[in-house]
A and B are shown apart, each in its own frame.
Chain A
Amino acid sequence: MPFLTELFFTTLSTIKDVLPIVLIIFGFQYFVIKRPLPNLKKIIIGMLYVILGLTFFLIGLEEALFPLGRLMAQQLTDPAFIRAGLDSAADVLQWSDYTWVYIFAAAIGFSTTIAEPSLIAVAIMANDVSGGSIGARGLRISVAIGVAVGIALGVFRIISGTPLHYYIITGYIIVIIQTFYAPKIIIGLAYDSGGVTTSTVTVPLVAALGLGLASTIPGRNPLLDGFGLIAFASLFPIMSVMFYAQASAWAAHRKAKNSALQDEGGE
């Protein structure tokens, strides 16, 4: 019964992860707030769903996606594969020879972000709090586009061997400038979406891609250059979410202006 053993051990490790949180919550609830949680039964069932859900999620990922994704990252970054796709076999590979790696980086960044449970959580919350004016789907798609661009650029950085902090610092400057122009209600959410994108699904695959690249390109040290992709994946969504908000505010503004003009013209 390999599945049942796996289920058992994964459940156990999920419970281990959740335990400190549960202890803190119930400790404070009973010793400091001294009032039982409303709907305690429903909350406990909900917590069990969360634990069971994460367990199934992780087992499924381990079984289907991670081995395949890791293998894929390895094969795509293999110099032999990259040479095979080129017409003229140059002695030294250029950064522009890695076309499929960039496409894979962007595609895997986008698709894993869409499936990221923490982002789903934040998007549901934003949708509820904003009364639906910030749609869950639009937010998730713009975050995913940010991650796609970020990881593709991060891959370029590993291949070209340029220092990580130049990119990150430039990114910070852009974020700060955007903050001045973005609608106020989106700012907190945009900053948050940087941190939530990189968890359960994205990190293992992206880390495999970074390490695969850094270990096959001559002159790169996997331990030094393999890191940094996650930093890109957490920075770029901030920009794309603010951009999305700016663009939709601008579109709404234009529409209002146009209809105002039409009203005037009708009079």
Chain B
Amino acid sequence: MRLVKQIIAPLLSSARDLLPIIIVVTFFQLFVLQQPFPNLEKIISGIVYVMIGMTLFIRGLEMGLFPVGESMAYAFARKGSLFWLLLFSFLLGFGTTIAEPALIAVADEAATVAANGGMIATDDAAKKSYAYGLRLTVAISVGFAILVGVIRILKGWPIHYLIAIGYLGVIIMTAFAPKEIIGIAYDSGGVTTSTITVPLVTALGVGLASSISGRNPMIDGFGLIAFASLTPMIFVMAYGMMM
């Protein structure tokens, strides 16, 4: 009975989460494109791996990532040192973004766009340094976002003021940025927040909001991820203007 509860039930729940994808892919393959599945056994084994992976990830989330984020938030609140908390927030954002594979891919493509658009030289060295500069820009902007978001939780500012200011920043920058960079800048907001960063940062926010009196974890705890996907847009457009 315990075995069923601990292993089978989460696996079934992962299967249920995957069901929509399986239905969509099967429907389009068989009915719209009207083709058989190429190497079906590989697809089935792949789905089983995804199911196992999802189950382990969710288990690890509740055992490891959430408690770490929350207990660090409590420890910083107890210690009462603003400097270390803000440094930690910045580094958490910066450190998790600089190595993000999705960002590396987007930065490389952006460098190709820039080279084709005549903004930088077309040789590899110029592209490489452009891509690296872009990654650094995004990582700094995410670090900055988490830092500002943490200050917001401490001060209890309403989140929508900051978001509205951010939107305004995006709109103003869009008017001035070279048009080649706009699509990349808008997308870079979405790719920065990785699967490991999100639970940690969310737990940090909720932990901080619940350990400071007068803050509501539901109202004040969420919102860090929102900043982290907003600031990269502004910073990347600024980078595009400077290059």
Contacts and interface: CB of A to CB of B under 8 A. Distances in A.
B178 to A, nearest CB: 11
B128 to A, nearest CB: 17
Given A33-B76, A117-B54, A224-B183, A192 B95 contact: no
Contact of B32 (A54, A76, A114): A76
B48 A60 contact: yes
A233 B229 CA distance: 12
A231 B203 CA distance: 25
B46 A195 contact: no
Interface residues of A, number: 103
A219 interface: no
Contact of A49 (B20, B63, B92): B63
Contact of B56 (A37, A53, A121, A168): A53
A123 to B, nearest CB: 10
Interface stretch (B1-9, B130-138, B218-226): B218-226
Nearest to B54: A57
A228 B113 CA distance: 14
Contacts of B98: 20
A111 B24 contact: yes
A231 B92 contact: no
A257 B226 CA distance: 35
A194 B32 CA distance: 31
A184 B219 contact: yes
Contact of A111 (B23, B67, B159, B225): B23
B17 A169 contact: no
Interface in A132-173: 134, 164-165, 168-169, 172
A121 B202 contact: yes
Nearest to A113: B20
A108 B66 CA distance: 29
Interface of A: 13, 16-21, 23-25, 28-29, 32-33, 35, 37-39, 42-65, 68-69, 72, 75-76, 81, 100, 104, 107-108, 110-112, 114-115, 117-118, 120-122, 124-126, 129-130, 134, 164-165, 168-169, 172, 175-176, 179, 184-185, 187-189, 191-192, 194-201, 203, 223-231, 233-234
